[in-house]
Amino acid sequence: MARTREWDVTALADAPQIEGEEVRFDVLPDGTILVEDDVGDAALAPLAEAVEATLRPPYRARAVRRTDARWAIAAETIRVVELPGQPGDALEITDRAGVRELKIDGERSFGSVPKLELLAGAQFSDYALQAQRLDGDLWEIRLDPL
């Protein structure tokens, strides 16, 4: 039985200036690199360039050191939307048979997020949508049919 593909692209790059054995980072649609570690986005440029030879932003990447200078990188496309002024850091919206539920940071909330509901409703009649704040007004979304 074949395994489902986890990554959209894999690549190799030389980046001896990066410390550590592993780094994870996101690249936004405008090319901005987001990283939680103290690596710095300039140091990650060679890794991002290797990925972007095949895959355009936005994407999420994981790189693992193979030698002192060589890194193996795997990346997957992510969906990013802008939600100005949206409270919270995590959203969940489910719609099953016209019954919609919204949770913000795990707490049930009354109200709606029209942009996400229109986007999801255009693809599926019943769906589960999760959104996670990446930076500022930019959110990563995952959408699945129910």
User: Using one digit for the tens of pLDDT, what is the confidence trace for 54-91?
Assistant: 999 999 999 999 999 999 999 999 999 999 999 999 99
Compute CA 47 distance to the chain's CA centroid, rounded to the nearest angstrom: 17
Over 80: is that where the pLDDT of 2 sits? no
Residue 45 DSSP symbol: H
Token readout for 86 is 């949206």
The count of residues in the chain is: 146
Peptide bond into 46 cis (omega under 30): no
Q: How far apart are CA 92 and CA 18, in angstroms?
A: 35
Task: Tell me what pLDDT residue 43 has.
Answer: 86
